[in-house]
Each structure stands twice: as C-alpha cells, then as structure tokens.
Amino acid sequence: MFLTTLLVCFFSDIAFGDYYKVQPDFVKTCVKDDPGFINCSTHAVQILFNKIPEGLPEIGLPPLDPLHLDEIKILQGGGGPVTVNASLTNVTVRGFGKTKILYNSVDPKTYDFLTKLHLDKLRMEGDYRLLGRILVIPLRGKGNCWFDAKNISIEAKSDVTLIKKHGFTFYNITAIHVKFDIGGLKFHMGNLFDGIKALEESTNAYLNANWRPVADSLNPILTKTVEDIMIGILKTVFDNLPADFFLADIGEDLDSNLS
Ligand SMILES: *[C@@H]1O[C@H](CO)[C@@H](O)[C@H](O)[C@H]1NC(C)=O
Ligand SMILES: *[C@@H]1O[C@H](CO)[C@@H](O)[C@H](O)[C@H]1NC(C)=O
Ligand SMILES: *[C@@H]1O[C@H](CO)[C@@H](O)[C@H](O)[C@H]1NC(C)=O
Ligand SMILES: *[C@@H]1O[C@H](CO)[C@@H](O)[C@H](O)[C@H]1NC(C)=O
Ligand SMILES: *[C@@H]1O[C@H](CO)[C@@H](O)[C@H](O)[C@H]1NC(C)=O
C-alpha cells in the first residue's frame, strides 16, 4: 500500500477557459495515416518539450525548469522493504528543459499515446521530513535534502478520450502510466537523526553506496509521483491546445460518437 499526494501550487490560479484558437509555432502537425507518422510525431513532441519548460503563461502553465512544487507527501505502509511517512516541501526540480524525446506513437483507434523520453540529469532539492525504514535501516530526520539522478529513461503511456469543444477536438487525459529507469543516483539528507553527525554521514554514505536497491525499493512511490506531476502538466497543456493542431486527421472516424 502506498500513497502520494502532490500539492502543486500552479493549479490554484489557472485562468480556465483560455485556449489556443490559432496554432502556435511550437506545435507541428502530423498525419496519423502517413507512413512517416512516428518520426513526425516524435519531432513534434520534441518541439513541444523544447517550449513548455519555459512556461505558457497564456494558459496558466508555469515554468517547468526549474519546477517548483509546494509539497509532496509520501506514505507507504509496512510489509515490503520500505516503510515511510515522508514529506518534501519547497521542492525545486531542475533538468526538464533538456528532455530528449526518443519516440512517440499514437494508437490509431484509442488515440492513447506512448512517449519515450530521456534525461541526462535531474536534480531535486527541498526540505524533507522522514520517518521510516529503507533497506531495513530505520530513518528519522528533518532538514534539507538533494537528489541527483542521471541517465533517466522514462516511458509514459497516456490514456485519453476525445472531447469536442468550440469546434475543436481536445484530448482529455484520463490517466498516465509511467515506467522509468535511472542510471545513477546521489543524494544527501541533512540533519538525519536530528543532527547526530556521525550517524547522519555514515547512513547517507551507506545508502548512496547502495543507491540501486534504494532506488528500486522507492520505484513504486517515485513512479506515482512522476505520474502525478506529468498528468498535471499534460492536462494543463492539452485542455488548452486543440488536438487538431497535432493530428490533421484526428477523429475523422469518431465524429459520430462525439457530441
Ligand atoms: C524525420 O523527421 C525530421 C523532421 O521532420 C526530418 O528532418 C527527417 O528527415 C525525418 N527522418 C526520416 C527518416 O524520415
Ligand atoms: C505521518 O507523519 C506526520 C507528521 O510528520 C503525522 O502527522 C502523520 O500522522 C503521520 N502519518 C502516519 C500514517 O503515521
Ligand atoms: C525555499 O527554498 C529556497 C531555496 O531553494 C529558499 O530561498 C526559500 O527561503 C525557501 N522557502 C521557504 C518558505 O522555506
Ligand atoms: C543509460 O542507460 C541506458 C539504459 O537505460 C544504457 O543503455 C546506457 O548505456 C546508459 N548510458 C550511460 C551514459 O550510462
Ligand atoms: C475527462 O475524463 C475524466 C476521467 O478522467 C472524466 O471524469 C471527465 O468527465 C472527462 N471530461 C469530459 C468533458 O468528458
């Protein structure tokens, strides 16, 4: 059993109802039934990802590099190798601006899309509060922390439905399923054990030396966190950016099913 809650500042003050009525220059149109579609849509998503990290204030999307999150709460009950009750507040994540899109395809029937991304590095900093057990080590602390991950591969499948609105077709993102793998992780939790320095340093060193099992044991929690962040971003983008701008031949076969 695990649970994450994400309180993201930027969903509170979005001006709903603003959407792109004219195709912006960072959106490239592809034709789903063309043979070169996967190459075309992979480039189209790359162009979009080159743009969105600076933010799209016209639709209420804040800058994503650095990305600020007010709070991430993590709760995972006993049983497995990890039991944690943790929160991260005042979080800054750096690195999304350099996202490489390796692949993007769209299911011809459901319009769900599958995207493969790669990031050379991602850094997260914030204030943590932690009580729990990771790799059988009991942990307790409250202070600053940072995490550096490198060579990150992400595979994201987005489930969508289509909505007709204002004469356009929009993607309604209903769920995201993420798988990810990291090639390295370094981190530091300051003031672990309320400042017993020797224990703090030896525990950080031990966990860093064993970063792979640490990362594996945290994978379900991190996956849920990445999904929550991505769904918030993608919903903001696609609620306001007609899908017709991406797919010239969207919904031609579906119009009769949509009101
Ligand atoms: C893939 O798309 C890019 C950008 O549209 C284009 O420059 C390139 O030639 C395409 N590659 C292939 C193999 O079609
Ligand atoms: C988790 O910790 C917070 C304080 O850090 C506490 O208020 C909460 O009750 C804890 N939750 C559980 C399930 O232990
Ligand atoms: C949040 O973190 C930044 C540094 O990353 C710091 O300057 C700021 O004071 C912090 N804000 C709060 C409310 O702790
Ligand atoms: C990055 O990870 C991939 C597998 O996900 C691996 O094939 C590749 O060699 C790694 N690259 C570096 C520089 O570590
Ligand atoms: C979008 O999908 C959600 C399910 O995630 C659904 O509750 C909602 O009604 C859909 N919106 C529209 C306008 O169809």
Q: 240-251 pLDDT, tens per residue?
A: 999 999 999 886
Q: What are 152's two structure tokens?
A: 């990150």
Instruction: Please tell me if the CB atom of residue 39 comes closer than 6 angstroms to any atom of ligand 1.
Output: yes
pLDDT in tens, 86-110: 999 999 999 999 999 999 999 989 9
Alpha-carbon gap, residue 194 to 179, rounded angstroms: 34
User: 37 φ, ψ to 5°?
Assistant: -60, -45
Does 141 reside within a domain? no
Number of domains in the chain: 1
Does 113 reside within a domain? yes
SS3 235: helix
Ligand 5 pocket mutation, candidates 159, 161, 169, criterion most atoms within 8 A of CB: 161
Does 246 reside within a domain? yes
pLDDT in tens, 29-44: 999 999 999 999 999 9
Domain that holds residue 51: 7-67+100-125+149-189+200-256
Whole-structure pTM value: 0.86
Q: How confident is the model at residue 180 (pLDDT cuts 50, 70, 90)?
A: very high
Instruction: Please tell me if the CB atom of residue 36 comes closer than 6 angstroms to any atom of ligand 1.
Output: yes
pLDDT of res. 9? 42
Alpha-carbon gap, residue 127 to 10, rounded angstroms: 19
Alpha-carbon gap, residue 134 to 82, rounded angstroms: 5
Alpha-carbon gap, residue 241 to 23, rounded angstroms: 8
Does 39 reside within a domain? yes
Q: How confident is the model at residue 254 (pLDDT cuts 50, 70, 90)?
A: low
pLDDT of res. 256? 46
Atom of ligand 1 nearest to the CA of 28: 5
Atom of ligand 2 nearest to the CA of 75: 13
Does 251 reside within a domain? yes
pLDDT in tens, 222-246: 888 889 888 989 999 999 999 999 9
Specify whether the backbone of 217 is left (phi greater than 0), alpha (psi in -120 to 50) or beta: alpha
pLDDT of res. 4? 54
Residue 123 has pLDDT above 70, yes or no: yes
CATH (domain of 246) = 3.15.10.30
What percent of the residues of the chain are helix, what percent strand, and what percent coil, each to the nearest 5? 30, 45, 25
Does 79 reside within a domain? no
Name which of 159, 134, 165 is nearest 227 in CA terms: 159
Residue whose pair of structure tokens reads 């995490």 in the numeric block: 147
Instruction: Please tell me if the CB atom of residue 90 comes closer than 6 angstroms to any atom of ligand 3.
Output: yes
Angle at 226 between CA 154 and CA 145, to 5 degrees: 110
Does 34 reside within a domain? yes
* Residue 144 neighbours by CB under 8 Å, 6+ apart: 125, 126, 127, 128, 190, 191
Q: How confident is the model at residue 79 (pLDDT cuts 50, 70, 90)?
A: low
DSSP structure class, residue 60: T
Do the Cβ atoms of 76 and 218 come closer than 8 Å? no
Percent of the chain with pLDDT over 90: 68
* Nearest protein CA to atom 11 of ligand 2, as residue: 85
Shortest-distance ligand to the CA of residue 40: 1
Alpha-carbon gap, residue 163 to 161, rounded angstroms: 7
> 30 CA to middle of ligand 3, Å?
43
Does 52 reside within a domain? yes
Alpha-carbon gap, residue 149 to 136, rounded angstroms: 23
Instruction: Please tell me if the CB atom of residue 43 comes closer than 6 angstroms to any atom of ligand 1.
Output: yes
pLDDT of res. 60? 87
Alpha-carbon gap, residue 209 to 139, rounded angstroms: 16
